[in-house]
Chains A and B, each alone.
Chain A
């Protein structure tokens, strides 16, 4: 059974603080790693797609890194703002597979 694990399950962060969370995945047959942001009552929105070991991507205050050899990706948020409150989902694409295998998400709550 292939599992994509995200930790922590939920996270409360003070406004202005920086934070990070983890997506762990089986490193064999890795093809790509996706990060999505899902705000309540909206649809999940793509943040990053990463494919190469050592990849780093950045979008404003949010950045992500990828380690395919050890099977993890970190998502960082610098200077958290209330609008960052959302569930952050990661999903792995395996080689020769059309399906994304999704983690259960990290729910981030920013306290003003």
Chain B
């Protein structure tokens, strides 16, 4: 158990809909990262938050947004869903904003299926 909690574990929704994925980082970790893992691709970095502020942005679509709350949990909002958004969405956390000497700890992921 990494200490990172993600909900829901599985989600099936229709095209055009909107979903929210939730993540609680490990106790004491200030950074939260969101990743997308599609069947035919490696881990794609979406966005990072550090202590409530956006720190880095990756290949995140405009239809997607995220935030980190004062209690450090984070939400990833996916809207106007398309079939291609079906993927495993990972949340990860780390103690600081830099990964030079620190590892990140992954949650078990949220499987999103868009039908």
Contacts and interface: CB of A to CB of B under 8 A. Distances in A.
Interface of A: 31-32, 34, 36, 42-46, 49, 51, 89, 91, 93, 97-100, 102-105
Interface residues of B, number: 25
Interface of B: 2, 4, 41-45, 48, 55-56, 58, 90, 97-109
Contacts of B45: 99-100, 102
Contact of B58 (A34, A43, A99): A99
Given A98-B48, A98-B55, A99-B45, A45 B2 contact: yes
Contact of A99 (B41, B48, B106, B109): B48
A46 B4 contact: no
Contacts of A46: 103-105
Nearest to A105: B42
17 contacts: A32-B100, A32-B101, A43-B106, A43-B108, A45-B2, A46-B103, A46-B104, A46-B105, A49-B99, A49-B100, A49-B101, A51-B101, A89-B42, A93-B99, A98-B99, A100-B99, A102-B44
B72 to A, nearest CB: 17
Given A32-B100, A42-B108, A99-B45, 12 more contacts: A31-B100, A43-B107, A45-B106, A49-B99, A49-B101, A51-B100, A89-B43, A93-B99, A93-B100, A97-B56, A102-B43, A105-B42
Dominant SS at the B interface?
loop
B10 to A, nearest CB: 12
Q: Determine chain A's interface SS by DSSP, over half rule.
A: strand
Nearest to A32: B100
A53 to B, nearest CB: 15
